[in-house]
Amino acid sequence: MSLVSLGCMAWDGAGAFELRHGMVGGSRCVDIVRILIYGLNYAPEPVGIGKYTGELAAWLGSRGHHVRVLTSVPYFPTWRVGLNSGNYRNRFSREQSGLVTVLRCPLWVPKRPNGLTRLLHLASFALTSLMPLVRQLSWRPEVVITIAPALFCAPAALLFSTLSGRKTHSWLHVQDFELDAAFELGMLKGGWIRTAAERWESSTLMGFDRVSSISGAMMARLRAKGVGSEKIRSFPNWVDLTQIKPADQSQRATNSYRCELGIDEGQLVLMYSGSMNKKQGLDLLVDVIEDLADQPQLVWLLAGEGPSKESLQAATRHRSNVRVMPLQPFERLNDWLNAADVHLLPQKQGAADLVLPSKMLGILASGRPVVASSPAGSDLASLASEAGRCVPPDDAQAFAAALRQLIDQPDERLLCGQRARQLVEARFGSEAVLSALEQQLFQLSGRSGISVS
C-alpha cells in the first residue's frame, strides 16, 4: 500500500509510477534532453527526498525527455528495505515506465542510524552504484543531476560528466546539507574532521556546472561555501494543488479520519505527520503535550516512521488523547491533512535553518495553520509566521504558548489557514516549479525548449 506523501506520486504496486496532472495542456517537448538522475532516495518512498525525485523523473518523462534514474532500493522512512515499499529485495534491479528507466542498487541500511552508521550507509550506495554509473557512459546523457545527500556520490558524478565529454553537464541539487546537519546535531564530532570535511565539500560543490537548492537560506549557504552566484539556481520543492486543497469548515464534522477516530466537533486536532528522526525534535512535542494537559478538548495525532518513533510512543503512552500512528494511505492524503485544526512542525536547533521541510507545502496547501520552530530569518520562519506561528527551536514553552493562542482564537486559525493556501498557490505549485526547471535544463543543454500539443 502506498503511504501518505505531501505530493502527487502514485505507485501501482508493480513498479510503475505516474505523475497525476503532469502535462501542461497535453503538450510535449520537441526538444528532448537525455537526463541521468543519480541519488540515494527515490519513489516509492512516500516522504522526503525520494518522493520529490520520483515526481521529478516522472514529470520529465511525461514531457518526452529520456530519463534514467540510478538509485537505491527503497528503505526510507522505516530504515528497512522492503517494508511498505512494494516488497523490494536488497539487490540490483531494473524497472521501466514510459521513457523513465530506473536502475536500483543494493545498500547497507543501519537499524539505528547515527553519525558513523549514516556515513557507512551513504558509502555503501556510492560503492554499489559505481559500476552501474560507469555503464551509463555509452548512453552519454546531456545532463547528470545528482541529488544530495550525495556525500560520496558527488565526486563520481563529476568524474562521470568529465569522461562523458563536453556535451554532458553536471548539476547538483542540494535537498539537505548532510555534513552541516551531522556536525550541528552532534552526530559527528571533531574540529579538525569538520574543517577537512568542509574543505572537501566546498571543492566538490564548486566542480559542478549548476548547483541548486530548495530555499533562499540554503542558496546563501552555497555561496558561503564558495559556489559562484552564476552557478546557483533556485529549485524549490512543490505540491500538487489539485491533489491537496482545503476542505470547507462545514465538512469538518464529516471528515473520514475524525469520524473513524471518534473525534467530535468540539475537539481540536493537533497533528504531526512525517519522518520521525533526530532533527525533527519530537522530544519537544512531548514537553508541549504535558504543558497543554489542562486542555481536555485537544487530540494529538502523531503519524510517521523513523528512529524516534519508539521513544515518542513510550513518552506519550500515558496520555489517552495522544495517538501515535503509522503513515497513512496516500489516497487519503487530502482527508488526513484536513483532519487537523493546527499542524505541528518542530525542528531542532542546528537543523532548522538548513532545510525547508517538504511537509510544509502539504500543510500550506491544505489551508490549515501551522506552529513551527525555526530561527528568525529562515524560509520556514517566514512562511510559518504568515500561516500561523513560528517560535525559536527547542523552546517548548514558546511552542505551547503559540498553540494556546491559536486554540483560543478560532477566527485567527481560519485567517492563518487562508493565508497558507494563498502562499502555496503563489510560489509552490508543481507545474510552475517543474516547468521552470525544464527551462533551465534547456539552457544548460543548449536547446530551445519548443513544445507542441
Residue 28, pLDDT > 70, answer no
Residues 6+ apart with CB under 8 A from 206: 226, 227, 228, 231
> Residue 425 forms beta bridges with which residues?
none
Give the C-alpha distances (Å, rounded to integers) separating 384 from 272, 376, 389, 421: 15, 11, 6, 12
List b or e across 395-421, with b for residues whose CB sees 16 or more CB atoms inside 10 angstroms.
bbebbbbbbeebbeeeeebeebbebbb
Which of 181-185, 203-207, 360-364, 390-394 has the lowest average pLDDT?
181-185
Q: pLDDT at position 280, please?
A: 80
Region label for 324, one of left (φ > 0), alpha (ψ between -120 and 50) or beta (otherwise): beta
Q: How confident is the model at residue 451 (pLDDT cuts 50, 70, 90)?
A: low
Residue 366, pLDDT > 90, answer yes
Residue 36 to residue 53: CA distance in whole angstroms: 12
Alpha helices in 228-358 (DSSP H): 256-260, 282-291, 309-316, 333-338
Q: pLDDT at position 349, please?
A: 77
Identical fold, 9-238+429-452 and 249-427: yes
Residue 6, pLDDT > 60, answer no
Task: Kindly state the average pLDDT of the residues 146-161.
Answer: 90
**R_g of the chain computed on alpha carbons:** 21
pLDDT (tens digit per residue) in 225-242: 999 999 999 999 999 999
Could you give the count of Cα atoms lying within 13 Å of 361 in the half-sphere of its Cβ?
A: 27
Q: pLDDT at position 10, please?
A: 33
Residue 45 to residue 74: CA distance in whole angstroms: 6
Residue 426, pLDDT > 80, answer yes
pLDDT (tens digit per residue) in 173-195: 998 887 777 777 676 777 787 88
Phi, psi values for residue 48, rounded to 5°: 75, -150
Region label for 214, one of left (φ > 0), alpha (ψ between -120 and 50) or beta (otherwise): alpha
Residue 137, pLDDT > 70, answer yes
Q: What rounded mean pLDDT belongs to the chain?
A: 87
pLDDT (tens digit per residue) in 47-81: 889 999 999 999 999 999 999 999 999 998 888 89
Residue found by looking up cell 485567527 in the block: 412
Within a 10 A sphere around the Cβ of 321, how many other Cβ atoms?
Answer: 18
The set of cell numbers assigned to 373 is: 520552530
The set of cell numbers assigned to 298 is: 485537544
Q: pLDDT at position 350, please?
A: 63
Residue 15, pLDDT > 50, answer no
Greater confidence, 146 or 281? Answer: 146
Residue 109, pLDDT > 80, answer yes
The pairing of strands 342-345 and 66-72 is unpaired
> Would you say the C-alpha torsion 70, 72, 73, 74 has a positive or negative sign?
negative
Within a 10 A sphere around the Cβ of 387, how many other Cβ atoms?
Answer: 28
> Would you say the C-alpha torsion 109, 326, 390, 9 has a positive or negative sign?
positive
> Do 113 and 129 touch, CB atoms closer than 8 A?
no
CA neighbor of 60 nearest in space, from 361, 436, 446: 436
Q: pLDDT at position 85, please?
A: 60
Q: pLDDT at position 348, please?
A: 81
Give the C-alpha distances (Å, rounded to integers) separating 283 from 261, 277, 309, 314, 355: 24, 10, 10, 11, 19
The set of cell numbers assigned to 402 is: 503559540
Q: pLDDT at position 72, please?
A: 96
**Residue ranges of domains in the chain:** 9-238+429-452, 249-427
Could you give the count of Cα atoms lying within 13 Å of 234 in the half-sphere of its Cβ?
A: 13
List b or e across 56-86, with b for residues whose CB sees 16 or more CB atoms inside 10 angstroms.
bbbbbbbbbbbbbbbbbbbbbbbbebeebbb
> Residue 337 carries which side chain, given as an amino acid letter?
L
Q: How confident is the model at residue 31 (pLDDT cuts 50, 70, 90)?
A: confident
Q: pLDDT at position 4, please?
A: 38
List b or e across 131-163, with b for residues whose CB sees 16 or more CB atoms inside 10 angstroms.
ebbeebeeeebbbbbbbbbbbbbbbbbbebbee
What percent of the chain has pLDDT above 90?
64
- pTM to 2 decimal places: 0.79
Q: How confident is the model at residue 453 (pLDDT cuts 50, 70, 90)?
A: very low
Residue found by looking up cell 485544526 in the block: 341
Task: Kindly state the average pLDDT of the residues 299-313.
Answer: 92
CATH (residue range 9-238+429-452) = 3.40.50.2000
Residue 14, pLDDT > 50, answer no
Superfamily of domain covering 249-427? Glycogen Phosphorylase B; (3.40.50.2000)
Count of all residues that appear for the chain in the document: 453
